[in-house]
Structure 1
Amino acid sequence: MKVLDLQCPHGHRFEGWFASAEEFESQLSRKLVECPVCSATEVSRLPSAPRLNLSGATEAQAPAGAGEMQARVMRALREVLEKTENVGDRFAEEARRIHYNEAPARNIRGVTTPEDAKALVEEGIEVMPLPIPAALKEPLQ
């Protein structure tokens, strides 16, 4: 089993496990190797130290690394984007309509000013800022 350090054009680093270097090249040429963060298939191999898989060896579970944590955050953000309606710059208006039962209840996202966000909170309307990374602003795949 070969464990390779990989990187996509957006700078996301991740590991890939392959039967051999040839299998990696084969999958890469068929666009089967994909970044777990942004789903890019333009992946490059990074230099890495050799790794040994010693059967019977046990090691305490290490905490999630920065790359794994980033992948988890990106997956969570993708899920939020998939399960919310983008109302754009009408966010404050639509949030109020939903809150006051003037529009159907649903999960929405959009853009508003800090002043409008503060006013919504003061009215008892729950809002949360959610910065979206550039990699997710492109159409979801």
Structure 2
Amino acid sequence: MIKFTLKCEQGHRFDSWFQSASAFDRLCETGMVACAICGSARVEKALMSPQVQGARDDRSLAAQPGSAEQVIAALRRKVEANADYVGPQFAQEARDMHDGHLPERAIYGEARPEEARRLIEDGIPVAPLPFSPRRKTN
């Protein structure tokens, strides 16, 4: 996992985690990275200062408090507890809520890259999650 500070065309700065630098590049090329503030898909890496970590013992970084894995796990728990899973109907549900056809509520699910890109282009506020939803089979 790698954290980048990003900046949109409006000058908004925000941080986001990616699986790798190449994963960030792929997501940017497909319009899947959007400003966390205004939703703009015109995002680039902002100038960042490196984070230098002091000496540590033999424990792995993943076991340390505040590690990326723990933060992502906490985010997953919060999303799953406070939002409705709509599965592959995410794009249509988000569009229907935005257009006033459905009452607004917190949702999460899955969308194909082209569906997500169209939502962003149409000004519908969506953001990718740093984890894949657990598929509900029952």
Give the TM bin, normalised by the shorter chain.
Answer: 0.3 to 0.5
> TM-score when scaled to structure 2?
0.48
Q: Could you say which structure has the larger radius of gyration?
A: 1
Bigger relative contact order, structure 1 or 2 (CA pairs below 8 A, ≥6 apart)? 2
